[in-house]
Amino acid sequence: MGLRSAAIGVGAASLARANDCDGMKKSIQVLIDKIEDKAGDKTSRRCVTASQMIGLLKNFRWVLEECLSGDDRFRQMARGDVVIRNLQGELDNLCR
C-alpha cells in the first residue's frame, strides 16, 4: 500500500463536524501533498518521507477521533490504526 493511498484512505471518512473538521482535513491533506513531493528514489529520503507521513497519519487519526461519532468512528479509528501499524512495519524494514 502506498503512502499517499493510505493517507487518502484514512481520510475518506465523512466528518461529523463539517466546518471545523473539513478545515482540519484540508490542512492535513496540504501537508501530505507536500511530503509526497519530497519522496525520491534514495532510501534515506524515502525513510524521512515515510516517517513524516506516519506522523501526519497519527495527527489525522486524532482529527477523526474528534470529528466522528458512533459506529463509523470506531470503524475509521480501527482502520487508521491498522494503516499506521502497517506503514510503521514497512518503515522499520526499509530504514534499518
pLDDT digits (tens, 9 = 90+) for 34-92: 776 565 667 777 788 888 888 888 888 888 788 877 887 888 888 888 988 988 998 88
Helix ranges (H only) for 1-96 are 3-10, 18-38, 43-67, 70-94
How far, in Å, CA of 37 to CA of 69, rounded?
33
DSSP 14: P
Provide the pLDDT for residue 16.
Answer: 39
pLDDT digits (tens, 9 = 90+) for 21-30: 778 878 887 8
For the full predicted model, state whether its pTM sits above 0.85: no
